[in-house]
Chains A and B, each alone.
Chain A
């Protein structure tokens, strides 16, 4: 059972455009929702994260929008740059038992010049 569903699987955006990646979750016990960025041959690196008590969080060009009632959250990358080309994973974790992450299946983003 896939607890975190991510779409699209791949995305091509023009330089300067907005990249949008969506995720949906099922488990209402999740209380922490990070986004990770992964370059080929590297481990995932935290990009931005949100708790369900806020509906939006912005850090630089990256924004998370969170809809608790719909159990959905999304990543928006403004002014996308070629250096943003990577695979992005949404994830979720719940209270208790440490903070093991349940990841989505990933979105391969390519930003073209």
Chain B
């Protein structure tokens, strides 16, 4: 079946613009995660959803970052008033259940460049 998809794959924004990044998880997956991956670094956790409930947003770097998953499937990560330090690859991952050992399946990411 289809894996995790993300759109757009690339986004160039001018500093101060708002952006919205979309994630389509694997159908039926309960858990959804957003990670930020800076160039040459490992992914860093941003936020976690269990169905439509956002259970952990401890990794969001500022109140300019907002994520939602209103119907428990598709998720959107929104960044308001983008800054140059927001430039990174934003990865979405989903897993079937909620166990700590559940395999996370990652999408290809959205590469955001803020000029």
Contact = CB atoms under 8 A, between A and B. Distances in A.
B56 interface: yes
B105 to A, nearest CB: 8
Contact size range, A: 20 to 34
Contacts of B4: 43
B102 interface: yes
Contact of B100 (A43, A89, A96): A96
Interface residues of B, number: 30
B1 interface: no
Contact of B56 (A95, A97, A105): A97
A106 B41 CA distance: 6
A49 B42 contact: no
Interface string B11-49: 000000000000000000001010100001111110010
Given A41-B108, A43-B4, A103 B98 contact: no
A46 B4 CA distance: 14
A99 B98 contact: yes
A54 to B, nearest CB: 13
B98 A98 contact: yes
A98 B50 contact: yes
B107 A43 contact: yes
B103 A46 contact: yes
B100 A32 contact: yes
B95 A99 contact: yes
Contacts of B35: 101
A76 interface: no
A39 B44 CA distance: 18
14 contacts: A31-B101, A32-B100, A36-B106, A43-B106, A44-B91, A49-B103, A97-B48, A97-B56, A98-B33, A101-B43, A101-B45, A103-B44, A104-B42, A106-B41
Interface of B: 4, 31, 33, 35, 40-45, 48, 50, 55-56, 59, 91, 93, 95, 98-109
Interface of A: 6, 31-32, 34, 36, 41-46, 49, 51, 89, 91, 93-106
